[in-house]
Chains A and B, each alone.
Chain A
Amino acid sequence: MGERDNHPTETAETPAGTRDVPAGAGPEVTPEQRDLEAALGLSVEDMSAENPLRDPRDKRLPRVAGPCVLVLFGVTGDLAKKKLLPAIYDLGNRGLLPPGFSLVGFARRDWAHEDFAQVTYEAVKEHARTPFREEVWRQIAEGIHFCPGEFHDDGAFDVLAMMLKEIDETRGTGGNYAFYLSVPPKFFPVVVEQLKRTNLANAPEGVWRRVVIEKPFGHDLKSARELNAITSGVFPEKSVFRIDHYLGKETVQNILALRFANTLYEPIWNRGYVDHVQITMAEDIGIGGRAGYYDGIGAARDVIQNHLLQLLALVAMEDPTSFDADSLRREKEKVLRSVRLPSDLSLGTARGQYTAGWQGGEPVVGYLEEDGIPPDSITDTYAAIRLEVANRRWAGVPFYLRAGKRLGRRVTEVAVVFQRAPHLPFSSTDTEILGQNALVIRVQPDEGITVRFGSKVPGTAMEVRDVSMDFAYGESFMESSPEAYERLLLDVLIGDPPLFPHQAEVELSWMILDPIEEHWAASGRPEGYPAGTWGPPSADAMMARDGRVWRRL
C-alpha cells in the first residue's frame, strides 16, 4: 500500500475541492517558467500534468487532440480527396478525434454543407483505410461545414470568420483552429493575408491557431525565404507545420528506433565500417497531369531537396538528447550543415530526362512529348548527386542520392553498404560472388528492413554467397499501418512538432541544392534515358569513378 501514500489525490474521503491544487484549476505559468520550459524544450501546453485522469503509466489511453476546427483550403484537390479526408475519418475511427471536432471546407464551389459532406463521404468510402462505420461517420458528419468563396474575396473570409465563431458556440471547439493550405504556393500570400485581416491568425490567450503547409517550400533558397516571410509574418514559427509526408511514414520513424533503441547497429554506423550509403526514390510513373507544376522544378527540387535530404539527416545524425522536436531538429540541422558538395559538380552529379520507351510492358511517351511540356525543356526527371558529410563519424563516406521518374519500378529505400571484410580466410574463388554486407531500410512499398550478408552454400565446397534476412512490417505488426497523413494530421491537432521540418532545415536543404541547380541550368540539356530503365549512363559513370555501382532494385 506504500505507493498509495504518495498519491496526489489522497483518499476518497477528502473532497477534491480542499486539495492544494484543485484538479483542473488551469495552468498558472509565470513568464519565467515559460522561458525556462521553452529553453528545456518543454511545452507549456502540456496538459497531462493537470489532468487527473492522465497518467504516463496508463499506456492504453491514446493521445487525443483537444476540441478544434480544421479548416481545409483546396478541398477539391486530389490530395484532399485521396488522403486528407480519408485520414480524418480514419482518425475518428480510431477514437483519436475530439468530440465536437469540426471540419470546414473552403473552395470556389457553389456548395452547401451537405454537398461537401457528400464529397467527404465519397472520399471516405473510396479511400479510407479502416472499415466504414456508421456511428463514426455520423460523429464526423455533424461537424462538417462548407464555406464557398474565392481567396481574393474579403466577404468570403468574413463569412468564414463568422462561421468559425458560430462553430465555437455550437460545437464547443473553443477557438482552436488549424488552417490546412492544400493549395499551390502562389495562393499562400493571399490566404495568409486574409487570415490576418480577419484576425483568424491571431490566437487569444489560451487557444491556438496553426497553419499547415505542403511542399514545395519554395524552389530555391530565395523563394523559400520569401515564402517563409509570408507565413512567419502572420504566424509564429511554432505554429507553422510544414508537411513532409515521408516523415509520417512508419519506416522513416523506425530509422530512429533501429539506430537508437538497439546496440547491434550503432557500433558499426560510422566510417570505420560503412563504405557508402545509397538513398533512392524511384517512381515508375511519369509526370501525369502535373506538367504545370513539374516543368522547371524537376526531380532534384521535387524530392531530393525534401524527402531524400531528410532521410539522409535521419540516417546520419548523432543521437538526440531526447525525442522532442527541438533536440531532433537540432541534430538534423547539424547534419545538413555538415553536408559537402562534390568539388567538381559535373563529375559528382548526374541528371537525365526520360525518352519514349517501354515501362512495365506498356509503351510510354518521353518527357518532351508529355502534354504541356515545352519541346526545349531542360527539366531533370532524374537526378543523382554525391554528397559527403564532413564530421568525425562520416568523413570520407559518400552518400549517393538519386531520384527519378519512369524508372524500372516504384521503390524508395535507404541502403547502408558496409565495407568488405578486411581479410577473407577463403580462397578467392570461394568468395567470388560475395558482395558487400548491406542494411536496407525499405520505405515504400513493402515497408521493412533487409540485411544482406554472406552465407555458406550447402554442399561439400566452401562457397560463400549473399543471402538476405528480412523484416517486413506487414508480417510482424499490423495488417495495415496508419497512413502518414493520419499521423501528421493528429500531430498538428495535438501540436506535436517533431515530425515536421523546421524552416532552418528547409533553408539548409536549399543551400545544398542551389549550387547544383545553378550548375545544371548552365550546362545545357540533360542526358536522355529510355523510360523503364534505371537512369542515364552518366549516373552509372558517376558511381564507376568511385569504383561502386548502384544497387539493382
Chain B
Amino acid sequence: MTTFNLTDTTASKISATLTQLRHQMGAPAVGMVLTLVVVCDEAGQYDAVRAATEAAREHPSRVLTVIKRDPYEPDRLDAEVRMGESSPGEVVLLRLYGRLTEHADSVISPLLLTDTPVVAWWPGDSPAVPARDAVGQLATRRITDARAARDAVAAIGGRHTGYLPGDTDLAWTRLTSWRSLLAAAFDRPTGPVRSGVVSGAAGNPSAPLLAAWLSERLGIPMELAESDGPGLTEVRLTLADGDLKIARTDARLATLSRPGQPDRRVALARRPTAELLAEELRRLDPDDTYGAAIQWLAKSPTS
C-alpha cells in the first residue's frame, strides 16, 4: 500500500497525483466500476475505509472519504491518497477545514470517475433528505445506516419522509438473509398467515423493518417483541395448522420450524459491514421493495 500525503491542496492536484501514482504502479487503466463517496467523521473513518476497501475487492472502485474537521479553522484541504498493489481501486481521504466543510461537493465532483455510477454512504450521521444533500446529489445510490443513529428505531421509522428512489439503508441490507429464508419457506404453499411476531434486541432498527415488510407483503398485522438479542432473534408466523418459526439466538445458526415438519438448522450469520456494502454495490437501481417497506413502516407503526 502506497500512501501519499498532500497538505493544503486542491482537487486538481489530487487528481494529478492519482494519475501519476497509477502510472508508477504500472497499471494505468484499471477497470474501476464506480466511485464510492464515504461521508464520516474522524472517529468512524478507520472502520468505514476498511469496509469500503474490502467491498472494493468485489467492486473495484475509487473510494473518496470526506471527513469534516473544525469549521472555525482557516479554509484548507488535506488529502491522503492510498493505492495498493494487492487491492484494486484507490482510496482518497479528504479532510476539510473551515468554510470548505460546507462545500465538500466542490472537492468531490472533479474526482469522480467519468461515466460510471456514484454511490454515497453515510456510515454515521446522515442528512434528513440524502438525495438533496450536496454530496448526495452527486450520487445515484445513497446508503444510510439507521443503526448509527442515537434512536435507531425512530431513525428507520422516519426514513420515508426523506426517501427518494435510490436511497437505501444498511438496516435493510442486514435483513436480506432473513428475508431470503422466509421467502424460501413460502415457496411451498403454507396456507394463509393469521398473525406474526418479530423479536429482536431493544433498539434494533431491522426488527420493525422486517415486521413492516412482512406485514405489507402478507397483508396481516405484525407484532414486535423485545428479546435479549443479539440482533434479530425470531420470526414467528401463525398459520392455520401451527407456527412457522425461524429462531436464532447465537447470531450464527438458526432453526427453522414449520408445522408437520422436522426442525432444520440453517446458517444465518450476521454479516460484516464490508459484505453489506458489497451487496449494496451489486445492484445500483432503486430498491422499490425497501421504499415500500419504509412507507408501510411509517404508515402503520407495528405494535
Q: How far is the CA of A357 from the CA of B229 in the complex (A)?
A: 66
Q: How far is the CA of A51 from the CA of B266 in the complex (A)?
A: 21
Residues of B within 8 A of A376 (CB): none
Residues of B within 8 A of A26 (CB): 189
Chain A contacts with B in 1-47, Cβ cutoff 8 A: 9-12, 14-17, 19, 22-26, 47
B276 to A: closest C-beta gap in Å: 11
Is residue B151 within 8 Å, beta carbon to beta carbon, of the partner chain?
A: no
Q: CB within 8 A of B218: which of A53, A134, A136, A171?
A: A53
Is residue A62 within 8 Å, beta carbon to beta carbon, of the partner chain?
A: yes
Residues of A within 8 A of B184 (CB): 64, 66, 98-99
Q: CB within 8 A of B287: which of A25, A60, A472?
A: A60
B302: nearest residue on chain A (CB-CB)? A12
Residues of B within 8 A of A472 (CB): 31
Judge whether B219 and A9 touch: CB under 8 Å. yes
Judge whether A476 and B31 touch: CB under 8 Å. yes
Is residue A296 within 8 Å, beta carbon to beta carbon, of the partner chain?
A: no
A39 to B: closest C-beta gap in Å: 25
Chain B contacts with A in 268-303, Cβ cutoff 8 A: 268-269, 279, 283, 285, 287-289, 300
Q: How far is the CA of A54 from the CA of B285 in the complex (A)?
A: 18
Interface residues on B, range: 35 or more
B180: nearest residue on chain A (CB-CB)? A61
Is residue B99 within 8 Å, beta carbon to beta carbon, of the partner chain?
A: no
Is residue A552 within 8 Å, beta carbon to beta carbon, of the partner chain?
A: no
Among B190, B214, B289, find the residue whose CB has the most chain A CB atoms closer than 10 A.
B190
Residues of A within 8 A of B279 (CB): 60
Q: Mark B24-63, 1 if CB is under 8 A from A, else 0.
A: 0000001101000000000000000000000001111000
Judge whether A475 and B31 touch: CB under 8 Å. yes
B52 to A: closest C-beta gap in Å: 15
- Given A53-B183, A139-B253, A477-B58, A24:B189 Cβ within 8 A: yes
Judge whether A11 and B176 touch: CB under 8 Å. no
Residues of A within 8 A of B189 (CB): 24-26, 50
Q: How far is the CA of A88 from the CA of B190 in the complex (A)?
A: 27
Judge whether A17 and B218 touch: CB under 8 Å. no
Q: Mark B170-182, 1 if CB is under 8 A from A, else 0.
A: 0001001101111
- Given A12-B215, A99-B266, A170-B262, A24:B30 Cβ within 8 A: no
A237 to B: closest C-beta gap in Å: 24
Judge whether B267 and A53 touch: CB under 8 Å. no
Q: Mark A173-185, 1 if CB is under 8 A from B, else 0.
A: 0100000000000
Judge whether A92 and B267 touch: CB under 8 Å. yes
Among A19, A472, A479, find the residue whose CB has the most chain B CB atoms closer than 10 A.
A479
Residues of A within 8 A of B193 (CB): 16, 23
Q: How far is the CA of A516 from the CA of B48 in the complex (A)?
A: 61
- Given A57-B288, A142-B265, A472-B31, A16:B220 Cβ within 8 A: yes
- Given A22-B191, A61-B179, A12:B267 Cβ within 8 A: no
Q: CB within 8 A of B264: which of A47, A61, A133, A171?
A: A171
Residues of B within 8 A of A92 (CB): 267
Is residue A110 within 8 Å, beta carbon to beta carbon, of the partner chain?
A: no
Judge whether A99 and B265 touch: CB under 8 Å. yes
Q: CB within 8 A of A171: which of B59, B176, B214, B262?
A: B262
Is residue B110 within 8 Å, beta carbon to beta carbon, of the partner chain?
A: no
A143: nearest residue on chain B (CB-CB)? B264
Is residue A52 within 8 Å, beta carbon to beta carbon, of the partner chain?
A: yes
Is residue B13 within 8 Å, beta carbon to beta carbon, of the partner chain?
A: no
Judge whether B192 and A23 touch: CB under 8 Å. yes
Q: How far is the CA of A133 from the CA of B283 in the complex (A)?
A: 26
Judge whether A60 and B283 touch: CB under 8 Å. yes
Q: CB within 8 A of B267: which of A11, A24, A133?
A: A133
- Beyond the given A100-B262, A471-B31, please list 10 additional residue pairs across the A-B interface where CB-CB is below 8 A: A10-B219, A22-B192, A50-B189, A59-B285, A60-B180, A61-B183, A66-B187, A100-B264, A142-B264, A479-B57
Give A contacts to B, CB under 8 Å: 9-12, 14-17, 19, 22-26, 47, 50-55, 57-62, 64, 66-67, 92-93, 95, 98-100, 133-136, 138-139, 142, 169-172, 174, 471-472, 475-479
Give B contacts to A, CB under 8 Å: 30-31, 33, 57-60, 88, 173, 176-177, 179-194, 214-221, 252-253, 256, 258, 261-262, 264-269, 279, 283, 285, 287-289, 300
Subset of 14 A-B contacts with CB under 8 Å: A12-B219, A15-B220, A24-B186, A51-B186, A53-B186, A58-B289, A61-B176, A64-B184, A64-B187, A67-B188, A99-B181, A99-B264, A100-B256, A136-B267
